[in-house]
Amino acid sequence: MALVGAGPGDPELITLRGWRLLTEAEVVVADRLVPGLLLDELRPDVELVDASKIPYGPSRGQEEINRILVDRALAGKIVVRLKGGDPYVFGRGGEELLACAEAGVPVTVVPGVTSAIAVPGAAGVPVTHRAVAHEFTVVSGHVAPDSPASLVRWESLAGLRGTLVVLMGLKNLAAIAATLIAHGRPPQTPTAVVQEGTTAAQRILRSTLAAVAADVTAAAFRPPAIVVIGDVVNALDPVH
């Protein structure tokens, strides 16, 4: 079984190794964010499983994905688990590898181009820049900052001087921005939101930390989108 990162959205950003394995596959289990053009190139006899349509909610759905991967691999099929971005960057790839390992199924891991870096870059925002940012932090925003389920120390992130990249944070953007400001991040901190980055549908919005949530709502931005917070947002301004 191969666990393959498909990249951030542009089908040409899959790695050569990932593409080769995809052309050899007999079974492909694909996520919702996998570029459709990659799937269009599959052989007609390939069994394509749309993982986003597996029912029963996230946890049961993950169990079903694991079962399909193991069952098809043990049946002797060449299986590719195709995931958007990189399999290990908030992609639950580790859970799938562990399920296969427990069943005795060997797994080849093919890293993917992660949207956390590629999407800002494609939109003209470098996550680091000389004399502007010496660090960048990638965080998931799918859980609200005040939720007991959150594993993120937002108060610590607020004190960092570098770039903050938030994935899956559009729904909680207002709460995230308010929390960062409450813990010391300046309200005027440049902030950008990139929707459907690296694709023909890419949109970018530039704002400030204080205003970004309202601006995103007014512009009707929707997932998938990545939020970049920090002075790097304006680092390449003369280019635009």
Determine the pLDDT at residue 35: 86
Q: Any catalytic annotation for residue 168?
A: yes
Domains of the chain: 2-110 (3.40.1010.10), 115-239 (3.30.950.10)
Q: Give the pLDDT confidence score for residue 33 in this predicted structure.
A: 83
> Of residues 53, 77, 171, 231, which has the active-site annotation?
53
Per-position pLDDT tens, the chain of length 240: 999 999 999 999 999 999 999 999 999 999 988 988 899 989 999 999 999 877 655 556 899 999 999 999 999 999 999 999 999 999 899 999 999 999 999 999 999 999 999 999 999 999 999 999 999 999 999 999 999 999 999 999 999 999 999 999 999 999 999 999 999 999 999 999 999 999 999 999 999 999 999 999 999 999 999 999 999 999 998 655
Q: Exposure string (b/e) for 70-80, b if CB count within 10 Å is 16 or more?
A: bebbeeeeebb
**Each residue of 213-223: pLDDT tens digit?**
999 999 999 99
Locate tokens 């269009």: which residue?
40
Decide if 40 contacts 61 (C-beta within 8 A).
no
Catalytic site includes residue 146: no
CB distance 235 to 136 below 8 Å: no
Q: What is the pLDDT of residue 60?
A: 60
pLDDT at 182: 98
One of 71, 77, 168, 215 is an active-site residue; which one? 168
Q: Which of 1, 10, 31, 86 is catalytic?
A: 31
Token duo for residue 104: 């005795």
pLDDT at residue 219, as a whole number: 98
